[in-house]
Amino acid sequence: MEQQKRASLKNEIVSLPSPEDLPAPPKIKPLKKGAAAPRILSAAEEAGIADEFDGMMLERKLSLFASRKTELLVACGFDEDPYTSGAEAVLRESAEDVAEGLWLAAKACGAKERLVAASSRREAHRFAACCTGTAAVAAGNRYPARTLLMQKLRRGGKKAEWIGVQACAALGAAVRGECRNETVVTVAGDGVRRWGNFRVRIGTPVGDVLAAGKPEKRVCLVAVGSSVTGRTVTDLSLPVTAATRCVIALKRPPRVPAHPCVGCGRCARACPAGVLPWLVHRELEGGSPEALRLFHVEDCVGCGACHTVCPSGIDLMAAVRRAAGLKEGRDLHETE
């Protein structure tokens, strides 16, 4: 998938004014650098830090990692979604906070090793140059890069887990007693004139963020989340959440006319979970799918890569989800 990040990374992150009706962020006690794990977790909870990639509260996430005996904690400083560039921008502009926060997070979950994953080698070098104590790698551009990177690290025998760089930066800022009740959202798409990354208070209406991107009059579709797996919104007063990574405005809904499968095999090559989406689609189309032939459907990570690359525009992710439901014992019409 072609990366569309250059335009939004051209300028620095712009902070948008907080809406008047939102309460001011609470004050927290500065977190001492040598704080023990329970104190770090409680500071994360106090500051209300949530991971920007999955919306999970950081304190819960780190406790889960601790119970899994995580050895390596990776901070994701890249966005696998071709339109989103918020993580890359945060890594560039708040590298020290990210390194500090990652160190604290690793301590909180008991991980011995830390790693920052950047979008490219250049970004990794840039980070390593200013934060010498933390190793950095390039995650690569192939979608879904995060899943592929984690697979690679786990294949190397490491118990690895990831957190977002914004969550790291927020934890790093807690050392100064700052409570960052905000998130960085990328505004992109052919429906806006000013692509960019905007720092907004959580709870700001999506419409305000979109307005910062100077939307065109003919915008007919606004999607939040990601260009591959996000969802459309028709009510722009909905609030931005910690997991709102991107607001995409389009002048025309993207439509690939549906055709029968042409047997190109792209879906299987794109899938990071080893699913054969064309086979799943064929089994379901046949009407009497054989559950034992629905290989690895339970491992589907819902990345949507199969649907995005299919030249015939077949909704393969939906087919794989239905197949996973079937394998769990639900019958065919229940999964529809």
Partner 1 sequence: MKLSNASPPFLHTDVTVMSMLGDRIFALCALLVIPTVRYGPRPLVMAGLSVLICLVCELLTGLMRKEGVPVTEWSFAVTGLVITMLMPVNAPLWLPCAACLFAELAAKAPFGGFGRTPFNPAAAGVAFATLCWPKQMFSYVDPAEPQWLPVWGECSVHTAQSAAAYLKSGLKPDILPFDMLWGDMAGPLGTGAALVIGACALLLFVRRAAHAETTLCFLAAAAALAALFPRIACSPLTSVKYELLSGSLFFCSVFLMDPVSSLHTAAGRCIYGAAAGGLLMAFRHFGAYEQGAVFAVLIANALSPLISSAVGRARGWEGSVYG
Binding site for ligand SF4 (CB under 6 A): 261-267, 270-273, 275, 277-278, 281, 300-306, 309-312, 314, 316-317, 320
Q: Is 254 in the site for partner 1 (CB under 8 A)?
A: yes
Pairing of strands 160-164, 72-77: parallel
155, with CB counted inside 10 A (0-12, 13-18, 19+), is exposed
CB of 2 to partner 1, least distance (A): 7
Q: Is 290 in the site for partner 1 (CB under 8 A)?
A: yes
Pairing of strands 246-250, 182-188: parallel
Q: Is 260 in the site for partner 1 (CB under 8 A)?
A: yes
Give residues with Cβ within 8 angstroms of 21, minimum separation 6: none
Check if the beta carbon of residue 219 is closer than 8 Å to that of residue 251: yes
Which range, of 31-39, 127-135, 177-185, 230-238, touches partner 1 by CB under 8 A? 230-238
Residue 279 touches which of ligand SF4, partner 1, none (Cβ within 5-8 Å per kind): partner 1
Torsion of CA 89, 94, 99, 101, to 10 degrees: -100
Cα–Cα distance for residue pair 231/223, rounded to 1 Å: 5
Q: Which is nearer to partner 1, 92 or 281 (CB)?
A: 281
Binding partner 1 by CB under 8 A: which of 37, 229, 301, 321?
A: 229
Cα–Cα distance for residue pair 98/91, rounded to 1 Å: 7
266 three-state secondary structure: helix
Residues that bind partner 1 (CB under 8 A): 1-2, 4, 82-83, 189, 215, 217, 219-223, 226-234, 236, 248, 250, 253-254, 256-257, 259-266, 268, 276, 278-279, 290, 292-293, 295, 304, 307-309, 311-313, 315
